[in-house]
Amino acid sequence: MPDNSIHELMTLLREYGVRTIDDRAGDGKTGFPVTVPLGDGQSIILDLPAPSPLNCLDPSQLGVAILDPNGKVRRTWGLANQLNLFRSNQPLVDSAIGSLLEASYQGSHGSLYLDGYRYFSAGLPNADSTDAFLLVVNAQEERNAKRQASKSWRIANALKRLGKILTMNQQVEHISVAAAHEIASATELAAVLVWTVDPHDNFLRLAASVGANRAGTNVLSKLAVEGGSSCVAELVATTRNSFFTQDVDDHMMTCELEAKFCYLRPGGASVHPLVISDRLLGVLELIGREEDPYFEEHQELFQTVAEHFALALNAAIIFEDFEKLATHDALTGIANHRHLQEFLHQRVLEAARTGQELGVIMLDVDHFRSFNEEEGHDAGDEVLRLVADSMKACVRPYDLAARYGGEEFTVVMPGSSEQTTLAVAERIRQRVESLAYMTRSGRDRHITVSLGCACYPNRGVDAADILKAADVALFEAKRTGRNKVVTFTGQTAFEGRRDDLNLPALLAWLPEQDRAESEDLYGRCLHDVVALSTELNLTAMQTAILQALVRVIPTYRRVKDQDAEMMERMLAADEFRLLVPSLNALEDRYEEKGNLTPLLARALAAILAVIEGQGKPFADDPNRYDPEIMAMVLQRKRAA
């Protein structure tokens, strides 16, 4: 189109009130430029009061802004009119969208998400400069999607981290502390409190806390499980229902405690019962931060976390129960023989490293066998429980009270001198002596105990030596009258008669006609004797006694009383007393697999019977030697 024709067209447009960008120079007003092609590569740029191509769109969802080269707003339309960003008279090159404007002035396109709105930019040539054209879109859906994605990531991340620490811990205390820290960190809470139910008194005890000051944890250290309503944790424990409030300051159940014990300013509270199969395990309390926009949205997450935590807590409780069964005596509730040996071994190593002393007490209930026979096994069990309770009441929390076996008990006291050990032993003796058991006939029977004491390192260099020394002292206490405390001095009346352990003399009274048969029987079970000696790590004396015992048992009932007494004294010697657990384990294996020959089984039965104080193991009844009789001996021992 010729230039004069273009000029005529522009004149005509002005007559109808349509401006072009050439008119801006005359009045300084700025509109929205719209390019109209005229053919032959020519065009004119209209300066319209509104972006007409967008008139069909919703101005509340879409807007346009034109900014001059300095970043000042020339014109706005639609959604842009509602934004404070474009109402400023200051250049926007230093604002949050400054980088977007700079790119536009340099001829680049770009976009930016800011505060729920999406900005699209482009350069707009204008004479000898370039304006910035901004298209503003309401990005509420995008914002919601981002928030949902962020929420989903936070949930997934929190569950992943929580799951990892829950599977790595198998004790209630450890899992509670780890979970409290991980939940607080993953979900950015002000405080997390974990209560667990104490099975002994059915109270809630604070197992772990994060973000709570000492004053708050002291107040909340112990709560009622049923009927309590002094705080929100008690309420949740009683009702078994979750609790939520948006602001702890505004709720009567949280305004006095949760609102005041957090180091950070608290916001809402989300409290959940930890329940498995209708059994309350504890309470999980989560306190949000002030003005946390995600806290209310995370209620589903918190519920899921509580459910996962309850499962892990239940697994830890079961694990501890099984662990206790493995290390504690089922009848008395104190440590068993296995745990005693492990504990004593570790404490002796620790004492050797630190140079401290260590006291050991061996304790035996006087005349327990006769009491058991006269009053029954139930009464005997009750006596053992009373003695165990007396021991626990007399020792420190870090001492170990254990059942050694049968009616024998042991106390291990790290850091205790010989004088302290004797004092504790005497305290136990007096406490037990003060007990009175009412029999079925209605009369009171007083219980007494004999105690032997030994101290590391003066009376032994390792765990076995200390136990042996205390056991020898116990033997002396029982031999010299019972109901007394004796400390190990290095020699006992029994040790003074070592010449009685005359093995050749023991074999000499075997009748001549039985010796060939005895040697033949012994030869057939020699392999088992050697295997037993190796497995139990027997000393030379123990092995010799066992070999002699195997030889003479078949004809024992024909020996004289004084010879039988000598043999029983051999078996009662401390050489064999420390072997009881190993012999028991071997007997169990014999019963199940039959690895040992009957002759050797008789020998083991004799050893166990004498060591455990069941009286003379040999009688005129030849059936006494049968393996079935041996099994009955073991069953009676276990029942006790």
Give CA 121 to chain center in angstroms: 57
How many helices (DSSP H) and strands (DSSP E) are in the chain? Answer: 22, 20
Q: CATH number of the domain at 337-493, please?
A: 3.30.70.270
pLDDT tens digits, 102-151:
888 888 888 888 888 889 888 877 667 788 888 888 877 767 777 667 76
Measured torsion, CA atoms of residues 175, 177, 178, 182, in degrees rounded to the nearest 10 = 130
Contact 150, 144 (CB under 8 A): no
- Region(s) of the chain under CATH 3.30.70.270: 337-493
- Region(s) of the chain under CATH 3.30.450.20: 57-138
pLDDT in the model for residue 363: 94
Q: Tokens 């024709």 identify what position?
A: 5
pLDDT in the model for residue 617: 44
Please list the rounded mean pLDDT of every run of 10 residues in the chain (640 residues).
Answer: 60 60 59 61 62 64 84 85 86 89 85 86 76 82 71 71 71 85 82 87 86 75 71 86 88 79 86 91 91 81 87 85 82 90 91 92 89 82 92 94 92 95 96 84 83 89 85 86 88 40 56 70 72 70 70 58 54 53 56 55 61 46 40 47
- Region(s) of the chain under CATH 3.30.450.40: 161-325
57-138: CATH topology is: Beta-Lactamase (3.30.450)
Q: So what CATH class is 161-325?
A: alpha beta
Q: How far apart are CA 456 and CA 468, in angstroms?
A: 12
In order of 219, 392, 422, 431, 432, the CA distances from 427 in angstroms are 36, 11, 9, 6, 9
pLDDT in the model for residue 131: 83
Contact 291, 267 (CB under 8 A): yes
pLDDT in the model for residue 578: 52
Whether pTM > 0.75 for this model: the answer is: no
91 prior amide bond cis, ω within 30: no
pLDDT tens digits, 466-491:
888 898 888 888 888 899 999 987 65
Q: What are phi and psi of 380, to 5 degrees?
A: -60, -40
Contact 104, 122 (CB under 8 A): yes
Amino acid at the residue 629: I
DSSP 8-state assignment for residue 50: S
Contact 447, 390 (CB under 8 A): no
Measured torsion, CA atoms of residues 29, 35, 36, 37, in degrees rounded to the nearest 10 = 140
**What DSSP element (H or E) covers 143?**
helix 140-168
Contact 228, 237 (CB under 8 A): yes
Counted residue by residue, the chain has a size of 640
pLDDT in the model for residue 325: 79
